[in-house]
């Protein structure tokens, strides 16, 4: 099972669109955060809610940034020709898995290890 040039083109397009969507939603989250701060009242109960909302928006932005770095990594690997191989063990990632999660750098086995904390997520290694 290998990905054809057409498959790769289609996945690349998917990745680019996803990156744009995340960039847009991150901007929206930042703008909403600013508005929330501007509308702050002095009621302690309201302040607690506002703090919670800010935290939610912040965590949304952070996970967006994490996914964005995975998408950039995937686009980089598309150019290098290593796309579709697990970054950890070198096995081929299933076509269906790539269709569903085109930015994933892992095969299903390594993904499970990352989720269980047995492997350090690659996105964090790249940011650091
Ligand atoms: Zn693997």
**Residue ranges with CB less than 5 Å from ion ligand 1:** 86, 88-89, 91, 107, 110
Separation of 111 CA from ligand 1 center, angstroms? 7
How many domains are contained in the chain?
Answer: 1
Rounded distance from Cα 12 to ligand 1 centre (Å): 21
Average per-residue pLDDT in the chain?
83
Question: Residue 40 sits in a domain of what CATH number?
Answer: 1.20.120.910
pLDDT for the residue numbered 35: 75
Alpha carbon dihedral 85, 97, 67, 121, in 10-degree steps, equals -50
Q: Which residue has the tokens 């955060």?
A: 33
Percent of the chain's residues with pLDDT above 90:
56
> Which domain range does residue 47 map to?
5-127
> What pLDDT, in 10s, does the model give residues 1-47?
578 999 999 999 999 999 999 999 888 888 888 777 666 556 666 66
Beta bridge partners of 92: 85
């Amino acid at each position: 099972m290998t990905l054809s040039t057409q498959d790769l083109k289609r996945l690349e397009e998917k990745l680019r669109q996803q990156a744009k969507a995340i960039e847009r939603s991150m901007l929206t989250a930042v703008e909403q955060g600013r508005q929330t701060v501007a509308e702050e009242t002095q009621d302690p109960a309201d302040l607690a809610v506002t703090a919670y909302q800010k935290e939610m928006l912040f965590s949304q932005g952070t996970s967006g940034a994490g996914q964005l770095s995975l998408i950039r990594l995937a686009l980089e690997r598309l150019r290098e020709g290593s796309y579709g191989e697990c970054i950890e063990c070198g096995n081929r990632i299933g076509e269906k898995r790539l269709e569903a999660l085109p930015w994933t750098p892992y095969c299903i086995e390594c993904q499970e290890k990352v989720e269980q904390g047995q492997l350090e997520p690659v996105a964090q290694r790249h940011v650091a």
